[in-house]
């Protein structure tokens, strides 16, 4: 598995502080619902894998609304859990 890395984003002045607690709660709720790192998911009809959590406090796709990062063959997308379906894993 690849090491954790931070991707610098484009911060625009919004005049308000980011809701760090809300972002942490959104990520925690997604994890409790089964959206953990490495989990296979379906985004629409596109298969993907959860590769990280979006902790961005600013921008159109902030972590409060889009807490999951999903890698697909088309690239990495910021997603809300409602946009995804969990892929059932095979029992050994």
Q: Cα–Cα distance between 81 and 35 in angstroms, integer?
A: 8
Q: What percent of the chain has pLDDT over 70?
A: 79
Report residue 12's pLDDT band, with 50, 70 and 90 as the boundaries: low
* Domain contains 45: yes
Q: Which domain range does residue 78 map to? A: 37-86
Question: 29-74: per-residue pLDDT in tens?
Answer: 999 999 999 999 999 999 999 999 998 888 889 999 999 999 999 9
Residue 22, H or E segment: helix 20-32
Q: How many CA atoms lie within 13 A of 39 on its CB side?
A: 21
Q: Cα–Cα distance between 32 and 34 in angstroms, integer?
A: 5
pLDDT, position 59: 82
CATH number where 74 lies: 2.30.30
* Domain contains 92: no
Q: Cα–Cα distance between 70 and 62 in angstroms, integer?
A: 14
pLDDT, position 38: 95
Report residue 14's pLDDT band, with 50, 70 and 90 as the boundaries: low
* Domain contains 5: no
* Domain contains 77: yes
* Domain contains 42: yes
87, 46 Cβ separation under 8 angstroms:
no
Count structural domains, the chain: 1
């Amino acid at each position: 598995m690849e090491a954790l890395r931070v991707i610098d984003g484009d911060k625009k002045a919004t005049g308000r502080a980011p809701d760090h607690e809300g972002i942490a709660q959104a990520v925690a709720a997604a994890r409790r619902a089964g959206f953990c790192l490495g989990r296979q998911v379906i985004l629409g009809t596109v298969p993907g894998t959860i590769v990280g959590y979006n902790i961005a406090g600013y921008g159109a796709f902030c972590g409060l609304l889009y807490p999951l990062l999903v890698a697909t063959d088309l690239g990495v997308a910021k997603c809300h859990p409602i946009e995804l379906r969990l892929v059932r894993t095979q029992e050994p």
